A and B are shown apart, each in its own frame.
Chain A
Amino acid sequence: MKSVLAIFKREFAAYFATPLAYVFIVIFLFAMGTFTFYIGRFFETGVASLAIFFSYHVWLYLFLVPAIGMRLWAEERKSGTIELLLTLPIPIWASVLGKFLAAWVFTGVALALTFPIWLTVNYLGDPDNGVIVASYVGSFLMAGGYLAISAAISALTSNQVIAFVVSVVICFLFTISGAPLVVDFFKAWAPLALVDTVASFSFMTHFQTIARGVIDLRDIVFFFSLIALFLGINVLIIDQKKAG
């Protein structure tokens, strides 16, 4: 556990040692604002709720989270530091977990910095703050899911662009797997159980449930098991590469 903490601290500090953190946070907040106020017409709706704000998180994360995740391993491979990291006396899972947690907390920081909109909506009206808290939790969990996928993809390559593009595609599949487009495609030929399974992987569905203010244990378990699954895959990929 100590080594996880050491990796976490190094990784987290690395975000702020370069312009990466500041650029990311500024763009994240700017994009959130643009979507919420201009495209979502937040003020015109006249409703004291952040539902509009949260509805865009899925799509923003789809591009912004792989941008954070792509460097996690690809950069280490490119610069050769992965050889240093993997020859230090710590297990692979500790590196995987430490890196993931640092990136997740970092996206959490970016998410937390959207707090002015929460203050605004409270100033203007009387929103259901319980729903908002649940939505923030859901949003954070969803970011973790995207991040775990991106980290595992990043471990496969030393090319960050490839890591980014492949991550976006896979994250997209997970996002829309509950949408009619996908469900109809499977419905035509697959047994109902498979259709349900595919649909149940949808980030959108799970997030929307939480964002309605219903913190269902199943949704929480879904995101945590998805994160655990992809972190496990991440460990396997790193270990597999040792065999050359």
Chain B
Amino acid sequence: MIEIENLTKKFGPIAAVRGIDLKVEKGEVLGFLGPNGAGKSTTMKIIAGYLTPTTGRVRITGIDVEATPQAAQAVLGYLPEGAPAYGDMTPHQFLKFIAEIRGFTGDEAKRRVAEAAQKTELEPVLEQPIDTLSKGFKRRVGLAQAILHDPPVLVMDEPTDGLDPNQKFSVRKLIREMAAEKAIIISTHLLEEVDAICTRAVIIDRGQVVADGTPAELLTRSRHHNAVTLCLPAAQSAGAKEKLKAHSKVRSIEDGGEENGFVTFTAFARGPELLIEDISAMAANEKWDVKQLYAEAGRLDEVFRSLTTSDSDRARESIEGTAA
């Protein structure tokens, strides 16, 4: 549904996107992750036809965005970064305007506007100027605008940014409900969001894809993947650590601190084999008074940090790059 081929985008000497290839199929919710300035928004702007790529091309349901932008934009729902909308209009007027632009008239337009407002729970504020709305409602006005024509392809730049946990929940529910029938790309900083709604996660850094897989696959790259955390009485902990260190599947032990006479520590796995079974068997054999014992799935933020660079590093690099 979305095909991105060898996409690059340069702003003067600075390359914001450097060769991205992606394909998103119907039923997929692709989470676009990356630090600020990694090229997420630029890529989405190119998909939406707002920016022209330096090289490469984008096709939406087979339609070339650069060659026939209007045809491509007709099948695309796009939520720009920051969910811009005309502040002097009310959500109702704004959605009517979008419906008119998208070629809906009469009862059909009314039905579409009502449906989009209902899906995004905008009804209570439909007649208030958008400028006076809270951040959460503003974001949902942008969302309503993007789904009004029920497009087969949805691209949303940070759809849950600035929403409170309840609003996040309902927006995620909405995205999940639409997922089966559409190809969806969302960008986010929130790693929990990837777990919550994405079927696939793509991490980009410095304009390139550095990881592409299901959230579970990405987790296996985490140092914490398969690790086991234990909480034992302080008296038993030293002996337990010794035993664990000697175990063939354990690579290292890390202390998590002591509290009320209990010590918490984590054993990291050497390989992909499960560690939890061995350790729980050991705990039973040794008759440790285990307070807590659990396996870690892995931590996305760890994967994220290991694959991407900080913004100050990037800035330094691009300055050096220009100087050279």
A residues whose Cβ falls under 8 Å from a Cβ of B: 2-3, 6-7, 9-10, 13-14, 17-18, 79-81, 83-84, 86-91, 242-244
Contacts and interface: CB of A to CB of B under 8 A. Distances in A.
Given A87-B80, A90-B70, A91-B70, A244 B51 contact: yes
B9 A244 contact: yes
A17 B52 CA distance: 34
A10 B86 contact: yes
A89 B52 contact: no
A78 to B, nearest CB: 10
B33 to A, nearest CB: 22
B11 A14 contact: no
A79 B87 contact: yes
Interface in B67-96: 69-71, 73-74, 76, 78, 80-82, 84-89, 93
Interface of B: 9-11, 45, 48-52, 69-71, 73-74, 76, 78, 80-82, 84-89, 93, 97-98, 100-103, 129, 145
Given A2-B103, A87-B73, A80 B86 contact: no
25 contacts: A2-B100, A3-B101, A6-B100, A7-B101, A13-B93, A17-B88, A17-B129, A79-B84, A79-B87, A80-B82, A80-B84, A81-B84, A81-B86, A83-B45, A83-B48, A86-B50, A87-B49, A88-B98, A88-B101, A89-B73, A90-B101, A242-B51, A242-B52, A243-B52, A244-B10
Nearest to B97: A10
Given A3-B101, A89-B102, A90-B70, A244 B11 contact: yes
B97 to A, nearest CB: 5
Contact of B84 (A14, A84, A91): A84
Contacts of A14: 86, 88-89
- Residue from B76, B97, B129 whose CB has the most chain A CB atoms within 10 Å: B97
A18 B78 contact: no
B74 to A, nearest CB: 4
Nearest to A87: B48
A7 B70 CA distance: 16
A211 B70 CA distance: 44
A18 B49 CA distance: 31
B64 to A, nearest CB: 14
Given A3-B101, A17-B88, A83-B48, 7 more contacts: A81-B84, A86-B50, A89-B71, A91-B70, A244-B10, A244-B11, A244-B52
Given A89-B73, A89-B74, A244-B9, A18 B88 contact: yes
Given A88-B73, A88-B102, A89-B73, A81 B50 contact: no
A242 B73 CA distance: 15
